[in-house]
Homo-oligomer: A and B are copies of this chain.
């Protein structure tokens, strides 16, 4: 028979999976000898069984609960539902990972009309007894049955107003008895039956309610934010009540061993006398700073300090504790590792190393890589944010906060920026032509597109805040306004974006600039010492490259050569190239582009000095370069001597139904070998020049995109090799270079052994690989993923943001194994967006990649995540 219930003494601190974090810690604290009210834990396995058997509590589980209640009665000398000395319990959730406040709790359970009388008699405190009863009715009705809480609150407010009372403490026994009566009536009116008086029945129902609360929207959202799997479920802690509301020598408190906001090593918390925990949350009375307890109850404070030091030393982490004082006696109800800000996280880690409490590697593990975004990007001022209500929500595409005036085109952003305005660019979706406007804006908001859409990828590269795929926005193309959450925003109106949560606000919200402390440098240094994975960056120009080096990048994993061609002085030449009718025309146009391309590479090589640089050949479908506006066609017509009609017809011919699976990547080099030739010339000539002029030993890594077949790779490789060989021979300078390929099409993984015969390196392009493996378009993912994640909860994470290790990862592992089989020393890396996402970085470490590459602002995140992976691996 499966054991579904454990007492705190039966449990162990190591049984978190089964007992949940709270339950395991209660068991551990019991073992450490802390004053813990006795109780038991219904396991996460019981939760799983409940969920899989039609949301019914099995008889087996009920029986085990019954046995434990009987034992609890023996230990406490009280009796469940008793009229003389009734046992009251709290029923609380407790999942494997801490999810503070996300799930439901019922206090004072076991009380009923008779037990209230009994409690009054046993404690000699009738006020306390009826205070507990009214609290129970409201909580039980709200949490377990679903009677709206507001009904009770309104009735209580009315009762107090009529009598001109302000504080609950002004109510005497009769008032509380009257309130109990009123609450019972509300319950009956809403439910059509009386409040259940049977304590056992209350308990079963409350346990089920906690199980169900695992499904509530805020729990769901929290799990997504923190990557907690749905499967885990929650345990339930049933604990005999101790009462902070028993009078003036009783109270309740929440305390941290260190300051959660600043990290300062000083007890930090609040307490409130004659109150239960929820009063602190409700904010009816203002709690007092915890230090004051030292004066009010010095012995309790001293005892607390002893135990809290014990706990911090035991768990080797800052603790967040809940305590109750019942008639002068201290009880611990909970302890857990405390949540903290990024700043506090770093300070606590460094301090604890200095205190000799933890090692440097343990310190590294204490800092969550995801939190680093807080340090690297502007954030909203917390107070200002509290006052703001979001209009709606999109995808958290690029972190940071931004506030500015709305403009609907890149050009308008530019004009407004020249006037000195802070701007937000709002678009249905962005295209390469918008890049300058994106760079000039403070933030970008798009209606369509997922985490790897154009807007998202480019914004992350720039470190610009971006909310993408905000599908709730109602907006037409070429509009001068949009509507979101019932608010109409016109051009020039202020909005604010939180790229770390996806929230969109109307109006201005104050932002706080990022600030990097010495603790950051220290922890990152320890991380660098620990990690095995190298961290490169995706950078398309010298400025980005330099920024990435500051953030600790050790090379470039991806230079997208196409981004360079969207600049105003280059795009006309690019268009001329595309519109060429003959190979000769095309070569002439390419010859005009060559000096630009070469100059770019010289800049990048010089910025990176001798660090490795991977350059990818032209990737996007050519129609992306075509003009949209009539005036651009006019310019082009003049430039090429063709008619506007001819040009439009050619542009139309380039149109594809599914351009992501169209004529792009190496397919361009197959159709137009002269493009690959020009790009190779630029790459090699630039390397030769920098080597000659600066003495840097440049070894370009030339990367061929979108390979799906080994013969295709050989075809393009031949072009590159032939071109490079001639140039190097002509120069008389020795130059090494590598030729490798993106692995971004499922078929490439399947035939990676054949590909590795010709490829000296693989770089996983997990954006495209995820797209093809799932059959979900990066550009259109927003709408689909919203239904899959938010509405129907089919996916737990967005695979375009967090690498799908099961499917996409399986292909990657296959490619690694096959690649190494053909070429044991093959160089392996990743340059998809996942290269900066912590869980994905850990995966890359596990499957044996040599490096990850991500946008400059994510480099520190990747460094830290890589360290986590290496340390956990030991």
Contact = CB atoms under 8 A, between A and B. Distances in A.
A476 interface: yes
A649, A657, A777, most chain B CB atoms within 10 A:
A657
A824 interface: no
Given A747-B808, A772-B773, A775-B768, A787 B660 contact: no
Given A751-B807, A794-B670, A810-B750, A661 B775 contact: yes
A451 to B, nearest CB: 15
Contact of A661 (B744, B745, B751, B780): B780
Given A658-B658, A712-B788, A750 B780 contact: no
Interface stretch (A140-148, A215-223, A545-553, A703-711): A703-711
A224 to B, nearest CB: 15
A750 B811 contact: yes
Contacts of A429: 657
Given A670-B787, A788-B712, A807-B750, A661 B659 contact: no
A784 B746 contact: no
B768 A711 contact: no
A429, A656, A661, most chain B CB atoms within 10 A:
A661
B660 A661 contact: yes
Nearest to A714: B794
A780 B747 contact: no
Contacts of A737: none
A797 to B, nearest CB: 12
B780 A658 contact: yes
A315 interface: no
Interface string A613-635: 00000000000000000000000
A217 B656 CA distance: 29
Contact of A657 (B659, B667, B747): B659
Contact of A662 (B652, B777, B792, B810): B777
A795 interface: yes
A779 interface: yes
Given A661-B661, A708-B773, A750-B773, 9 more contacts: A448-B657, A477-B652, A660-B777, A661-B771, A712-B794, A745-B773, A746-B775, A746-B811, A747-B774
A727 interface: no
B476 A649 contact: yes
A712 to B, nearest CB: 5
A771 B768 CA distance: 13
A663 interface: yes
A91 to B, nearest CB: 30
A596 interface: no
Interface string A760-787: 0000000010011111110110011001
Contacts of A660: 657-658, 661, 775, 777
Nearest to A808: B747
Interface in A461-476: 476
A806 interface: yes
Given A779-B658, A788-B712, A747 B807 contact: yes
Contacts of A788: 667, 670, 712
Interface in A664-693: 667, 670-671
A715 interface: yes
A787 B670 CA distance: 7
A747 B659 CA distance: 21
Contacts of A808: 747
B708 A776 contact: yes
A806 B661 CA distance: 20
B658 A784 contact: no
A751 B806 contact: yes
Nearest to A449: B657
Nearest to A754: B806
A546 B794 CA distance: 40
Nearest to A795: B709
Nearest to A645: B476
A658 B772 contact: no
A477, A711, A776, A804, most chain B CB atoms within 10 A:
A776
A657 B779 contact: yes
A859 to B, nearest CB: 29
24 contacts: A476-B649, A476-B652, A656-B777, A656-B779, A657-B780, A659-B780, A660-B661, A661-B775, A661-B776, A663-B783, A667-B784, A667-B787, A708-B776, A709-B794, A711-B795, A712-B794, A715-B794, A745-B773, A745-B774, A745-B775, A746-B746, A747-B775, A747-B804, A772-B775
B780 A662 contact: yes
A708 B799 CA distance: 12
Contacts of A747: 773-775, 804, 807-808
Contacts of A662: 777, 780, 784
A200 to B, nearest CB: 33
Contacts of A772: 661, 746, 772-773, 775
A205 B706 CA distance: 40
B776 A657 contact: no
B706 A775 contact: yes
A677 to B, nearest CB: 14
Contact of A663 (B663, B780, B804): B780
A775 B715 CA distance: 18
